[in-house]
Amino acid sequence: MKPWWPRIIVKPRVRLGRPRFTTPTRPPGIILFGLLFVAVLFILGGNIYTLVRTPPPIASDGSGNPILIAPAVDVQLGLEGIVASVIVLIGTIGLSLIYYASRYIFQPGYATRLLILGVIVAGVAFLAFAYLFNIKTS
């Protein structure tokens, strides 16, 4: 049986598939860990306090010289929170190196170097915090 329309009009032979709606995939674990880690560093650095209190970004002493660390316990400048977050990050890297050294029990020389480097980095972070605390309380 011939179709009733002219031959120049061709009936397309297309089979349309049914659209599939799927849930979005979960982002990789390393990205979630990185975002969570940055959020924790932000909180531990005291940056929430800085955002709520809105102190001046740079203060000055009596003679007009700029100070970057306010010598009072109840005041925190914007840069102080960032510095504290970086020091927490450095300490975390040192503790991670100490933990990472436990994976190399069959290579004692490499494990010892990682342990020493981790202790030095974590110790530097601790001393930096002690120095900042000494400035804040004096």
pTM here is 0.71
| Residue 95: domain span | 44-54+72-137
Number of domains comprising the chain: 1
- Predicted confidence (pLDDT) per residue in 54-70, tens digit: 666 667 777 877 777 87
Owner of token pair 């981790």: 118
117 in any annotated domain: yes
The whole-number average pLDDT for the span 45-57 is 76
State the Rg of the chain over Cα: 30
Residue 7 lies in a domain: no
Query: Strand, helix or coil at 115?
Result: helix
Give tens-digit pLDDT for 71-83.
778 878 878 888 8
Q: Would 121 be classed as within a structural domain?
A: yes
